[in-house]
Amino acid sequence: MLIDSTALPPDHVVRTDVCIVGAGPGGLSVAARLAGSALGVVVLDAGAEDPEQTPADVHTQIEGTNTGDAYPTVDFVRSQGLGGTAVQWLEAGQSFGVRLKRLEEQDFRRREWLPHSGWPFERAELDPFYDRAEDAFAIGRFADDVTASSPESVRHPLAVGPLTAAEFRFARRWTLLDGQRAAFTGRSNVDVYTRATVTELDDSDTPGAVNRAHVRSAPGRGFTVEARWFVLAAGGIGNPHLLLLSNRTRPEGLGNEHDTVGRFFADHPAFNHVGVRLHDPQLVARLGEYDAADRGGVGILRALSVDADVLEREQLMHSWTNVHPRVSRRYLDTVDAAREVLSTLRERPLDAPAAALRRGGTIARGARAVFEAVRTGTRQHVIPSGWAQRPLSPRLFEPGVLTLASTYEQAPNPDSRITLGTTVDNLGQRQAHLDYRWSELDLRTARGTTELIGKALADAGIGELVMPTDHEYPDHAGTENSGHHPLGTTRMSTDPKQGVVDGDGRMHTVANVSIVGSSTFPTGGSANPTLTLVALAIRLGDHLRTRLA
């Protein structure tokens, strides 16, 4: 049942077996697994059933401050409401929503040269759950799991030397959520409460075990949920934030005896300023598989990755590199200029005519390129898609030049962290503060991977790198162009001093709390996180069904 918490009587108490905080892909996957069991399940989410209806003052709960290296604002990478941040998954053209891939075997192993690397288990442990997660997303099976097949057996254009063409699949934006809702429908054991912000997990009765969650539906108005087990599924920033706010019995926050909560914040920074000038411009016509396209009902594309053995030898972390024809400068300048005029119109209408005059020339010069993008239906968000399906317009793309749009894994870094800030939200609670840090290893990976790709393409006679200007190259200021994958902040470790949860996602120092989400990832690895976190959530659902039966 879906319940709007604002309609509950004051000081209401809900009693249940399992209380899940967060109705994103992680929390709802656990709940869907428990649907139909003998366990009572309550899911609590701060946002509304229709995320668009979440009031602006509730949005202040995901805002926060941000210092350190360049990163999007902390509310940019997460959302509230039923479906969580999944509401932001693109639905470009007709088939592309969320981009998915399994992590590789190498991602789970300890890398001697990478401090804090290594998951508590091998990938084989997750494989059966990956299968079920792929079913939940309805993406079929990955045709060539790159770790299972020798790179020699997967030869695609550009997959030369140490380069492999890894397959990514796209699920439609709502497939997962629709399936989860169908699992609850008609089941009396799962209740989902919206507009329900958990402000504290309270272990004051029996320190070391949480007895109740304090929940607010509005300032000064709230209720309590008492449960046998709690699952924290509030996202990569929300998970550490709630633990730090839960400081009734310990000022450092729940489960933070070893000062690990909130540390090791990482993402998958993205960088797309490196180009390749092709020796044969006609090669572009054979690169269609690097463009996302509907293949047998599923959106699929390939991206370049570097063979794991070579990464290990060179001591570089993982990355994946999308390849597409380089979008013309004129088009990009025009879009920038139009955006600037529109935002001036919105924010300072009196200055809009001056802005239009200043930028009008650029907009006029590139108008035909924009018209071409609209006419051909070429999407320019994040990476262009649809470019391989029709002749390339030279107004829109630079002939014979490719862009390498790379996304990198980051080194686990204890100094990169979430803490409680000094600003407050609509409930008077301290907002999250992010101090994001790039490390030397991150920069080495970005530069080293670019050099490897450049050398492989040059050796194969394909083309030469077109390097970005110093201004464009990532440096200590980093890049704001992140993968929107906050991770690592309640990391898994077998050692309670090195991590917040164990290999099952259970908190080391709190008896009855599990955490699910990318915050538990020890390292970010070679893929977007959601397939892995949904696999972990299904695995946790199985555990809870058995443990609490």
Ligand X SMILES: Cc1cc2nc3c(=O)[nH]c(=O)nc-3n(C[C@H](O)[C@H](O)[C@H](O)COP(=O)(O)OP(=O)(O)OC[C@H]3O[C@@H](n4cnc5c(N)ncnc54)[C@H](O)[C@@H]3O)c2cc1C
Task: List interacting residues with ligand X (CB under 6 A).
Answer: 21-27, 44-47, 77-78, 80-81, 84-86, 88-89, 98-100, 197-198, 233-235, 238, 242, 484-485, 517-518, 528-530, 533
Q: Determine the residue with CB nearest ligand X.
A: 24
CA distances (Å), 305 to each of 105, 170, 287, 384, 461, in order?
A: 14, 18, 15, 19, 19
What minimum distance in Å lies between the beta carbon of 2 and ligand X? 14
Q: Which is nearer to ligand X, 84 or 463 (CB)?
A: 84
Q: Which is nearer to ligand X, 412 or 454 (CB)?
A: 412
What minimum distance in Å lies between the beta carbon of 524 and ligand X? 11
DSSP bridge partners of 222: 216
What minimum distance in Å lies between the beta carbon of 480 and ligand X? 13
Q: Which is nearer to ligand X, 45 or 442 (CB)?
A: 45
What minimum distance in Å lies between the beta carbon of 470 and ligand X? 29
What minimum distance in Å lies between the beta carbon of 368 and ligand X? 30
What minimum distance in Å lies between the beta carbon of 194 and ligand X? 9
What minimum distance in Å lies between the beta carbon of 528 and ligand X? 3
Q: Which is nearer to ligand X, 88 or 498 (CB)?
A: 88
Tokens, residue 147: 């770790």
Task: Count how many Cα atoms sit within 13 Å of the Cα of residue 349 in the half-sphere of its side chain.
Answer: 1
Q: What angle do CA 189, 46, 433 make, to 5 degrees?
A: 135
Residues 6+ positions from 380 with CB-CB distance below 8 Å: 327, 331, 335, 373
Q: Which is nearer to ligand X, 213 or 304 (CB)?
A: 213
CA distances (Å), 167 to each of 102, 303, 319, 360, 380, in order?
A: 10, 7, 13, 42, 21
Q: Which is nearer to ligand X, 319 or 362 (CB)?
A: 319
Cα 321 to Cα 302: distance, rounded to the nearest angstrom: 9
Q: With CA atoms as reference, report the closest residue to 1 among 149, 209, 192.
A: 192
CA distances (Å), 479 to each of 88, 269, 364, 436, 437, in order?
A: 21, 7, 30, 11, 11
Cα 165 to Cα 167: distance, rounded to the nearest angstrom: 7
Element holding 356 (H helix, E strand): helix 352-376
Q: With CA atoms as reference, report the closest residue to 320 among 329, 309, 311.
A: 311
Q: Which is nearer to ligand X, 23 or 538 (CB)?
A: 23
Element holding 353 (H helix, E strand): helix 352-376
Q: Which spans in 102-170 are helix H?
A: 105-108, 123-137
Q: Residue 429 in 3-state DSSP?
A: coil
Q: Which is nearer to ligand X, 22 or 421 (CB)?
A: 22
CA distances (Å), 301 to each of 96, 149, 169, 322, 468, in order?
A: 10, 18, 7, 9, 25
Q: Which is nearer to ligand X, 151 or 386 (CB)?
A: 386
What minimum distance in Å lies between the beta carbon of 198 and ligand X? 4
Question: In this structure, which amino acid lies at residue 294?
Answer: D
What minimum distance in Å lies between the beta carbon of 230 and ligand X? 12
Residue that the structure tokens 């010069």 belong to? 365
What minimum distance in Å lies between the beta carbon of 320 and ligand X? 12
Q: Which is nearer to ligand X, 23 or 306 (CB)?
A: 23
What minimum distance in Å lies between the beta carbon of 99 and ligand X? 4
Give phi and psi for 72, each to the nearest 5: -60, 165
Packed helices 530-547 and 123-137: angle between N→C axes, nearest 10 degrees? 100
Q: Which is nearer to ligand X, 117 or 481 (CB)?
A: 481
Cα 22 to Cα 31: distance, rounded to the nearest angstrom: 10
Q: Which is nearer to ligand X, 176 or 308 (CB)?
A: 176
What minimum distance in Å lies between the beta carbon of 89 and ligand X? 5
Cβ(542)–Cβ(34) under 8 Å? Answer: no
Q: With CA atoms as reference, report the closest residue to 137 among 6, 23, 267, 25.
A: 25
Three-class HEC string of 263-274: CCCECCEEEEEE
Cα 174 to Cα 83: distance, rounded to the nearest angstrom: 9
DSSP-assigned letter for residue 206: B
What minimum distance in Å lies between the beta carbon of 417 and ligand X? 18
DSSP-assigned letter for residue 349: G
Q: Which is nearer to ligand X, 236 or 275 (CB)?
A: 236
